[in-house]
Structure 1
Amino acid sequence: MPDQGKTGLYRLYDRQGRLLYIGISTDPAKRFNTHRWDRGKPWRDRIASYTAEWLDTREEAEAAEVQAIRAELPLHNRMHHPDCDAELWSGYPAKVNTA
């Protein structure tokens, strides 16, 4: 995929300031509204605000997204979330218990 240029790393919060979700987009405001109207997300009614920080490339934003999810543990991210590493779609190898 070619570099898409500046990309926003966004965070969605509820009214109490709890971190609900972290994602990336070239249009974070549009993604904010998309999340709020997505009927597939039962937590969508809790979304009250968002923040965005801009990175120079999509690749930088992707790396920052993974780091942020793993460090900040948003309530509704599954991909890259350490509690979901065993899931095939997590982006990380499944943990294998060798004991």
Structure 2
Amino acid sequence: MTRRPYKNMPDQGRTSLYRLFDAEGRLLYIGISCKPEKRYNSHRWHRPHLWRHEIASYTNEWFDTREEAEAAEIRAIRTELPMHNRMHHPAYDEEPWSGYHKAA
């Protein structure tokens, strides 16, 4: 499977790969942001996220460029299998919105 690159995302410099965990340490979500605390709070207050009240902690792993963080995010989601990611999660590769397609 291959993934099309992000569309028109500017490189915002130093970027964090963040992981959100519940109180038992289960991995809920993986994402990237140049302002991870702001992004973390947006997950906590986003009403459609039914799992938002489960968030108990988070970690940051910093990369020098957004491109490096994007590559690490994809690897992490595809190997660590967070409970609430849909993009890049192998369980959703066949969905038309996933951006993944079988190499010809």
**Fold match (TM-score > 0.5):** yes
Report the identity percentage.
70
Q: Which runs of 5+ in 2 are unaligned?
A: 1-8
Aligned match for 1:85, one of 84, 87, 93: 93
1:22-41: CA deviation from partner (whole Å, max 9, x where unpaired): 00000111111110010010
Q: In the alignment, what sits opposite 1:55?
A: 63
Residue 54 of structure 1 aligns to a residue whose secondary structure is strand
Q: Which runs of 4+ in 1 moved over 3 A?
A: none
Query: With structure 2 as the length reference, what TM-score do the two structures score?
Result: 0.87
Equivalent-residue separation in structure 2 for 1:36 and 1:18 (angstroms) = 16
Superposed CA RMSD in Å reads 1.4
Structure with the greater relative contact order (CA < 8 A, sep ≥ 6): 1 or 2?
2
Aligned match for 1:43, one of 32, 51, 63: 51
1:10-68: CA deviation from partner (whole Å, max 9, x where unpaired): 00000000000000000111111110010010000101110001001001111100000
More helix by share: 1
| Number of residue pairs aligned between Structure 1 and Structure 2 | 95
Query: With structure 1 as the length reference, what TM-score do the two structures score?
Result: 0.91
Residue 100 of structure 2 aligns to a residue whose secondary structure is coil
